[in-house]
Amino acid sequence: MAGKIRVLVAKAGLDGHDRGAKVVASAMRDAGFEVIYTGLHQTPEMIVQAAIQEDVDAVALSILSGAHMTLFPRVLALMREKGIGDVLLTGGGIIPKEDMASLKQAGVGQLFGPGTPTTAIIDYIRGASE
């Protein structure tokens, strides 16, 4: 892949906790990624529009609100509808293992829980973008 990996880090829905997303975004920048952080309270439509405008290689959603089974599928459906279904959709938060498995089966990439080393997230996105 030519150039830097571009990642959109997004906080979807009413979740107001963004410290983890900011830590991950900072680690990605330190690893050489170009990171676009959307800020809090983004709708799936806003996230997908930003992903298109920024021409990203990956979208990383941070969801701590419990709405992951609604928000990940909605973002994925919009990405496919808007012609960017080939862009990696990954993320993390407080997501039970069985929900992670269901989302992966639906086409979402690997998801990460609390305590995951940022290097694991970076390595995954880097590997998926090659």
- Write down the pLDDT at residue 2: 56
Which parts of the chain register pLDDT below 50?
A: 1
Residue 54 is predicted with a pLDDT of: 98
For the chain, give the number of residues.
130
What residue segments make up the domains of the chain, in order of their start?
Answer: 6-128
Q: Residue 1: its pLDDT value, please?
A: 47
Task: Note the pLDDT of residue 3.
Answer: 79
Supply 121's token pair: 């997230």
pLDDT at 97: 96
| Model pTM score | 0.95
Task: Find, among 9, 130, 16, 23, the residue nearest to 60 by Cα.
Answer: 9
Architecture of domain 6-128: 3-Layer(aba) Sandwich (3.40)
Residue 107 CB coordination number (10 Å): 14
Query: Distance (Å, rounded) from C-alpha 125 to C-alpha 129?
Result: 6
**How many Å apart are CA 121 and CA 101, to the nearest integer?**
17
